[in-house]
Structure formats: C-alpha cells, structure tokens
C-alpha cells in the first residue's frame, strides 16, 4: 500500500494526469450542491475554515474556482507536496522513494546534568530530570526536551508532566513509572518551564494512569511502546 501511494504521488508530480481524471474528481465534488441539505453537508468545512482563518466561499465562488483548476495546477501542487510534506509509514522507511527519514531521537552536544530515575525492572530505561531539561534514555537513543524550548507542558493533578518541545518530540514524566520521582523532582520541571507554556489538564481516571509492568521483559516492551508513542516527527 505504501508503494502504491508513493507511485501515485510520483505520477502526479511528473504530470501524468489525464484531463478525464480531473473532470471526474471535479464532478464528484460538485455533487454536494445537488443535495437538498447542501448547507448542512458543508457545515464541517465551514467550521474548519473559521478555525484556520480561511475565507468561506459561496457556492458560486466555489464552482468558479473548481472550474478554473487545470492539470498543470495539480502537477504544481503535487510537486510542492512532495518537497514539503511529511509521510508516516508503519515499521519502515521510504528512503528508496527519495524521502529522508526524520529524526527519531534528540541530538545533544553533551550530556545534560540531572537526577536519574530508572524504570523498575529495566535499568536500560531511565528518566533524567535536571534544572534545564528532561531526558528519556532508552537502549535505542535519547529524547530531550529543554525547558527553554518547551512548547507545551501538560500538568496533571496526579503529578504527571508531559513536555513537548519545539522540535516536536515529547517526554512523558510519569511518577508511577520511575524510581524516586517524587514531588520535589516534579517541582524542578515546573520551575524551569516558562509559565506561558503550561497547560492545566483535568484529573485522569485511575485506569488512565500508567503502572509499571509486572515483569522485566514486559517492562521493556511496555516502555518501548511508550517511547514510540511519545515520538513526534521532526518538523
């Protein structure tokens, strides 16, 4: 499926688009105006435009813009998409198709100081809480969020802190998952992150609060899944 998607994008980018394909797609979009509840059907798009600051077109304006689209326009958009978009695929890369893999781990020039809090049952996974940053250390690599470059700090009443950096990476600080990660260390994070980045979160259900795995093997698997969930492709 990934190969098929890449092939379609490549075909659009080089301009192998038939006029009949454009006409068919255009006719399908215009069918929305043939329904008696056309206004209601377009309500989600109206709402999205308002949220994004885009202008809402009248039906006549929309028809006119669709009529003006050419095969050349589609080719230009496909080229721009190919050069600027991010592609997320399951369990593999697409460097074979000309895409460069996004960073999976943080890059730091030197180790950042802080207290180390290991994951119970797995000494290879640890959280480092320091006065300038938080780092998640795993066998595969490290993820660091510096307080000065923290885009959002989600503050949970149960003591958890989720930090998202300006580079898109996230570190989840869960006191239940690390040794000696008490309120005093969480306070270091709160003191370091700018107040403008703080997002107060509602109380979580008990089932939503993560717990240590029951076995060392399960602990590594669980922590690995948590690390993968925390990754955000670099921008």
Band (123; pLDDT cuts 50, 70, 90): confident
Same-domain pairing of 135 and 182: yes
Residues listed for the chain: 235
> In this structure, is residue 235 part of a structural domain?
no
Domain limits for position 28: 2-97
The reported pLDDT for the residue numbered 110 is: 58
Q: Considering its fold, how many domains does the chain have in total?
A: 2
Q: Among 21-30, 103-112, 194-203, name the one with the lowest average pLDDT.
A: 103-112
DSSP state of 234: -
At residue 216, the 3 state secondary structure works out as: helix
* pLDDT at position 214: 63
The answer as to whether 110 is a domain residue is no
Question: With bands split at pLDDT 50, 70 and 90, how would you rate the model's confidence at 113?
Answer: confident
Instruction: Among 37, 69, 97, identify where a domain stops.
Output: 97
Regarding pTM above 0.85, the answer is no
In a domain, 205, yes or no: yes
Q: Are residues 73 and 150 in the same domain?
A: no
DSSP string over 54-107: PPPPPHHHHHHHHHH--HHHHHHHHHHHHHH-----SSS--GGGTPPPPP-S--
Same-domain pairing of 8 and 85: yes
* Average pLDDT over every residue of 42-67: 93
Q: Which of 171, 158, 176, 169 is nearest to 213 (CA)?
A: 176
> Angle at CA 57, nearest 5°, toward 54 and 63?
135
- Residue 200 sits in a domain whose CATH number is 2.30.29
* 131-176 pLDDT tens trace: 999 999 999 999 999 999 999 999 999 999 999 999 999 999 999 9
Query: What contacts 51, CB < 8 A, 6 or more positions away?
Result: none
Flag the least confident range among 27-31, 49-53, 93-97. 93-97
pLDDT of 128 strictly over 50: yes
CA distance 37 to 31: 12
Is residue 190 classed as helix, strand or coil in its secondary structure?
helix
Mark whether 9 and 50 lie in a shared domain.
Answer: yes
């Amino acid at each position: 499926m990934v190969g098929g998607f890449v092939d379609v994008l490549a075909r659009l980018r080089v301009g192998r688009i038939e006029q009949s394909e454009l006409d068919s797609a255009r006719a399908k979009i215009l069918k929305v105006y043939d329904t008696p509840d056309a206004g209601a059907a377009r309500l989600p798009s109206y709402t999205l435009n308002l949220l994004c600051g885009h202008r809402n077109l009248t039906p006549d304006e929309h028809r006119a813009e669709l009529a003006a689209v050419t095969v050349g326009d589609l080719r230009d958009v496909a080229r721009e998409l190919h050069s600027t978009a991010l592609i997320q695929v399951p369990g593999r890369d697409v460097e074979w198709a000309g895409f460069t893999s996004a960073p999976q781990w943080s890059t730091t020039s030197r180790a950042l100081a802080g207290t180390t809090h290991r994951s119970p049952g797995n000494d290879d996974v640890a959280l480092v809480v320091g006065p300038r940053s938080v780092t998640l250390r795993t066998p595969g690599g490290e993820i660091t969020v510096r307080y000065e470059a923290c885009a959002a700090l989600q503050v949970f009443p149960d003591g958890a802190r989720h930090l998202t950096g300006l580079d898109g990476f996230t570190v989840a600080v869960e006191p239940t998952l690390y040794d000696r990660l008490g309120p005093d260390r969480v306070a270091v994070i709160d003191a370091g992150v700018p107040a403008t980045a703080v997002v107060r979160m509602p109380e979580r259900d008990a089932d939503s609060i993560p717990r240590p795995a029951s076995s060392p093997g399960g602990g590594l698997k669980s922590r690995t899944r948590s690390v993968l969930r925390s990754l955000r492709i670099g921008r």
